[in-house]
């Protein structure tokens, strides 16, 4: 949809920022710095950081971050989801504890810009807007694979916003009205991938709210730096394709036949290497462009493998609800002791 006209006198709504964390101790100090730099009114935002049964020093880091937040006037509340090992289950704990009119989602390994929340929340001035998708860019990396992912803009939300079924946003940078969860339900807690698309689609099918893409609401995300991590990422994309096909009937991703793989490799050898080298020499492309062709094929193969091997567990079809009978209240970590 087109950009809403923003008032000069914005009444900023109360919002809740929800971050699921699994073994994120190394990321929390930098994330905390980004939260402290947010220009959104501090008395209008709470940060709900949900430890998803971490085995590292995450719990202690969360307590320290809560104390640091108090010094900066931030409302940081550590929560816990120890039962279900899924980022979506952890987000559901945050949703149940949230007091905001708008719920914002990001991840521990993301680095939001200082004006992220201001840019992400402003479009909600338009009453018809129910979901706002922010943009995701790459953190500066040093490895060849990080350069490749940045070159191909692997995480940009332009692709998800343009999905032919319904637009959706990845939970690394997404905001949704709290009322939507009453009408469409929460995340599927046993789903391990694809839950962001599933929730955004259910909201659009259950309500009349529209989706807005706030391209200037930016978070940066670290790309994979090893072949092992890259392979895991693209197999997960394949599983997500299959799960969403099972849940919503969307088309499966295409499988590239061997003849097409040979044809593309041949084109790369005969044409693309020379073309990329010329662009690199003229500083119109990064050095990784020369091997992007084979890496594209490698990622496509891994995605196809993930899709072919995927099986949707029956439990993953379950949708949690805010008023679900027997739902337990979120586990709240105790506040840090303060000495005077």
Determine, yes or no, domain membership for 6.
no
Q: Indicate whether 133 and 76 sit together in one domain.
A: yes
| Helix (H) or strand (E) run with residue 228 in it | helix 227-248
**Quick one: pLDDT at residue 323?**
77
Closest CA to 246 of 316, 293, 297: 316
Determine, yes or no, domain membership for 335.
no
Q: What pairs with residue 218 in β-bridges? A: 135
Q: What is the mean pLDDT of residues 139-157?
A: 88
Q: Indicate whether 102 and 92 sit together in one domain.
A: yes
Q: Indicate whether 215 and 134 sit together in one domain.
A: yes
Q: Indicate whether 255 and 194 sit together in one domain.
A: no
**Quick one: pLDDT at residue 8?**
53
Cα distances from 85 to residues 20, 51, 89, 238, 336, in angstroms, run: 11, 10, 7, 20, 26
Report residue 206's pLDDT band, with 50, 70 and 90 as the boundaries.
very high
Determine, yes or no, domain membership for 317.
no
Q: Indicate whether 206 and 234 sit together in one domain.
A: no
Q: Indicate whether 64 and 207 sit together in one domain.
A: yes
Considering the entire predicted model, what is its pTM? 0.89
Determine, yes or no, domain membership for 163.
yes
**Quick one: pLDDT at residue 324?**
61
Burial of 162 (0-12, 13-18, 19+ CB in 10 A): exposed
DSSP one-letter string for 123-174: GGGSTTEEEEEEEEEEPP--SHHHHHHHHTTTT-HHHHHT-SS-----TTSE
Determine, yes or no, domain membership for 3.
no
Q: What is the pLDDT of residues 160-172, one digit of tens each?
A: 999 999 999 999 9
Q: How many domains does the chain have?
A: 2
Q: Indicate whether 133 and 62 sit together in one domain.
A: yes
**Quick one: pLDDT at residue 222?**
84
In the chain, % of residues over pLDDT 70 = 92
243 is written with which tokens? 């799960």
The answer to whether the CB of 132 falls within 8 A of the CB of 6 is no
Q: Which of 200, 225, 250 is the last residue of a domain?
A: 225
Determine, yes or no, domain membership for 270.
yes
Determine, yes or no, domain membership for 272.
yes
Mean pLDDT, the chain, rounded, equals: 91
The answer to whether the CB of 175 falls within 8 A of the CB of 157 is no
**Quick one: pLDDT at residue 1?**
53
Q: Indicate whether 90 and 197 sit together in one domain.
A: yes
* Confidence check: pLDDT of 67 > 80: yes
Q: What is the pLDDT of residues 290-335, one digit of tens each?
A: 999 999 999 999 999 999 999 999 999 999 999 764 444 444 444 3
Determine, yes or no, domain membership for 59.
yes
- CATH number for 176: 3.90.550.10
Q: Indicate whether 281 and 194 sit together in one domain.
A: no
Q: Indicate whether 255 and 111 sit together in one domain.
A: no
Closest CA to 112 of 231, 253, 217, 5: 217
**Quick one: pLDDT at residue 245?**
97
* Confidence check: pLDDT of 130 > 70: yes
**Quick one: pLDDT at residue 335?**
37
Q: Indicate whether 68 and 164 sit together in one domain.
A: yes
In the chain, % of residues over pLDDT 90 = 79
**Quick one: pLDDT at residue 48?**
98
Q: What is the pLDDT of residues 40-61, one digit of tens each?
A: 999 999 999 999 999 999 999 9
335 is written with which tokens? 């506040």
Q: What is the pLDDT of residues 243-274, one digit of tens each?
A: 999 999 999 998 999 999 999 999 999 999 99
Q: Which of 225, 247, 264 is the last residue of a domain?
A: 225
* Confidence check: pLDDT of 2 > 80: no
Report the alpha-carbon distance of residue 149 to residue 306 in Å, rounded.
19
Q: Indicate whether 141 and 237 sit together in one domain.
A: no
Residue found by looking up tokens 């200037």 in the block:
216
- What is the extent of the structural domain holding 97? 15-225
Q: Which of 170, 195, 225 is the last residue of a domain?
A: 225
């Amino acid at each position: 949809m087109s950009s809403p006209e923003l008032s000069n006198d914005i009444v900023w709504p109360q919002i809740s920022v929800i971050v699921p964390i699994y073994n994120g101790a190394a990321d929390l100090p930098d994330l905390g710095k980004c939260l402290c730099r947010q220009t959104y009114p501090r008395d209008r935002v709470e940060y709900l950081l949900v430890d998803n049964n971490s085995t590292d020093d995450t719990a202690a880091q969360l307590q320290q971050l809560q104390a640091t937040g108090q010094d900066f006037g931030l409302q940081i509340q550590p929560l816990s989801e120890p039962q279900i090992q899924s980022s979506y289950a952890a987000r559901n704990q945050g949703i149940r504890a949230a007091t905001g009119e708008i719920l914002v989602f990001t991840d521990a390994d993301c680095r939001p810009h200082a004006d992220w929340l201001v840019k992400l929340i402003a479009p909600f001035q338009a009453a018809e807007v129910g979901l706002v998708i922010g943009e995701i860019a790459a953190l500066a990396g040093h490895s060849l694979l990080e350069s490749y992912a940045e070159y191909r803009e692997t995480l940009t939300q332009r692709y998800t916003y343009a999905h032919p079924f319904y637009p959706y946003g990845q939970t690394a940078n997404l905001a949704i009205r709290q009322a939507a969860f009453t009408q469409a339900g929460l995340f599927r807690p046993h789903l391990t991938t694809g839950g962001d698309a599933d929730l955004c689609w259910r909201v659009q099918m259950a309500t009349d709210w529209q989706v807005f893409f706030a391209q200037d609401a930016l978070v940066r995300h670290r790309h994979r730096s090893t072949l092992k991590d890259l392979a895991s990422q693209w197999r997960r994309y394949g599983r997500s394709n299959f799960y969403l096909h099972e849940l919503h009937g969307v088309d499966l991703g295409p499988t590239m036949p061997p003849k097409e793989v040979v044809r593309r490799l041949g084109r790369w050898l005969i044409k693309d290497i020379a073309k990329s080298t010329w662009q690199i020499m003229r500083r119109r492309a990064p050095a990784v462009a020369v091997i992007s062709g084979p890496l594209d094929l490698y990622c496509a193969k891994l995605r196809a493998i993930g899709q072919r091997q995927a099986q949707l567990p029956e439990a993953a079809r379950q949708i949690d609800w805010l008023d679900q009978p027997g739902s337990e209240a979120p586990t709240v970590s105790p506040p840090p002791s303060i000495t005077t």
